[in-house]
Each structure stands twice: as structure tokens, then as C-alpha cells.
Amino acid sequence: MKRGRKPTIDAADITRAAIAIADAEGLASVSMARVAAEMGNATMALYRHVKSKDELLALMWDSAMEEPPPLPDGDWRDKLGFWAKAVLVAIRRRPWFLQIPISGPPVGPKNLRWLDSALTALEDVPLEPAEKIGVVMGLSTFAQGEARLIGTLAQGFENDPAQFNHQYGQRLREIVDPRAMPALAEIIESGVFDLDDVVRAEDLGADFDFGLHLFLEGVAAHIRSRA
């Protein structure tokens, strides 16, 4: 039998508590003391189960992603598009996910299942393994980057809504000298930056959809050139 005092908590409990705090108040509110308090333990008790805060963050990172949803019926394009949107949604549900300083390639089971899901979408596509990985990496990179951007803007909007109320276009008009940056000035004049009222999550979603469309279009073209 196992000797010594019985542990009252384990690393998984700590991770869960930390995630609950991050979900409710953001990653900045996750401190060892706070997590311990939330669990009714003393701060230093945590260190019996977790080497350091960095390790706790790594555990949080592994647990943060939910399971990948089952792929829809259709061709690879439907599936991969669905997958990319699922990635965006999953990250958006845990905005602090991208704030965790990561350290290495993914080995956590959840992340590997996401990878498997994307590769399943490409199952019947005639591409080399390395190419498939490239496609998935590119898509994943794009989705994460877009999620980051959306999160950033959403947060900036919370802090200072006035900054976004169709003043952005105006502000750019003041700053940008058409002689110095003619291409940008022309786009500004077209009014794309004059957001009528507020930047909404849906607008940002439209940007994502367009980028996704371009990328998938590129994959299709590449497949065609292969066949």
C-alpha cells in the first residue's frame, strides 16, 4: 500500500480551479494564492502537486481546449472549413488561451485529437503527408492569429468604446498624408474604415470567413495542380 498522508487534492483539481478563475476573471487573476483560496487550501499546499506556476499554466493550456466536434458530411472543403471555424469558436470561448506562454510542440491528447480531426478532413485528398501537415498548420496558424486579433479588438473595445465608434476612419484621415501613403489613403477614402457604429464580433467573423475562403481556394488550386 502507499505510505504517507493521503493527498486531499491533485494537479487536476488545481488545474480546474485555475481554469475557473481564468474563465471568470481572466488569466491575470490567476495567482497561486488565489487558486489556493478558491480551493480552501493554503498557497504553499499547491506546490506539492505542481512544480511551479509555469507548470500550472502548461496544464491549463492542455485542458483548455474542448474536444473537437465531429466533422460534417461533405467534401474536404466543407470539413476543413468547419474545422477552422470550430477552432476559432473554441479559442473564443477561452480568450486567455492565447495569452499563455507556450513552450513546445503539442503532445496533449486534446490537441492531438484536433490535429487528427483536421487530417481526417483531408483523408481522401491526394496530397503528400508533408503537404497535408502544411495545410493544417497554415490553417491553424491563421485561425489562431485571427482569434488573437478578434480578442484584442474586443478587449480594446471594452476599455474604450469611443475609440471605435466610427472614429477610426476619421482618425486615419487625419493621420495619413495621401502624398506619403497614397494606396492607404485611397482605401481610407473608400470608407471601409468608417464603421457605422460599433465593431461587432460578426464583422470580425466576416473577415475570418473571407480569409478562410482565400486559403481554402488556395488549397484547392494546389490540389488541382497536383492531379
Interacting residues toward DNA by CB under 7 A: 1-9, 29-34, 41-45, 47-49, 52-54
Which residue, 103 or 225, is less far from DNA as judged by CB?
A: 103
Instruction: Find which of DNA, a second copy, none residue 6 binds, CB within 5 to 8 Å per kind.
Output: DNA
What distance in Å separates the CA atoms of residue 187 and residue 167, rounded to the nearest whole number? 16
Binding mask 167-196 for a second copy (x = CB under 8 A): -x--xx--xx---xxxxx-xx--xxx----
Q: What angle do CA 132, 102, 91 make, to 5 degrees?
A: 65
What DSSP state is assigned to residue 82? H
* Interaction of residue 17 with a second copy, rule CB under 8 A: no
Which residue, 42 or 137, is less far from DNA as judged by CB?
A: 42
Instruction: Write down the least CB distance from residue 160 to DNA, Å.
Output: 17
Contact pick of 1, 24, 130, 162 for a second copy (by CB under 8 A): 130
Helix, strand, coil % in the chain, rounded to nearest 5:
70, 0, 30
Residue whose grid cell is 473564443: 92
In contact, 39 and 50? CB cutoff 8 Å: no
Instruction: Write down the least CB distance from residue 91 to a second copy, Å.
Output: 12
Q: At what angle do helices 201-226 and 129-159 cross, to 10 degrees?
A: 170
Residue whose grid cell is 486615419: 172
Q: Amino acid identity of 152?
A: T
3-state secondary structure of 72: coil
Binding mask 54-83 for a second copy (x = CB under 8 A): ------------------------------
Instruction: Write down the least CB distance from residue 145 to a second copy, Å.
Output: 3
CA distances from 131 to 107, 126, 135 (A): 21, 10, 6
In contact, 149 and 211? CB cutoff 8 Å: no
Instruction: Write down the least CB distance from residue 53 to DNA, Å.
Output: 4
* Interaction of residue 89 with a second copy, rule CB under 8 A: no
Which residue, 41 or 140, is less far from a second copy as judged by CB?
A: 140
In contact, 219 and 184? CB cutoff 8 Å: no
Please report, as ranges, the residues that interact with a second copy according to CB under 8 A: 99, 101-105, 107, 109, 112-113, 115-117, 119-120, 122-123, 129-135, 137-138, 141-142, 144-146, 148-149, 152-153, 155-156, 159-160, 163-164, 168, 171-172, 175-176, 180-184, 186-187, 190-192, 207, 210-211, 213-222
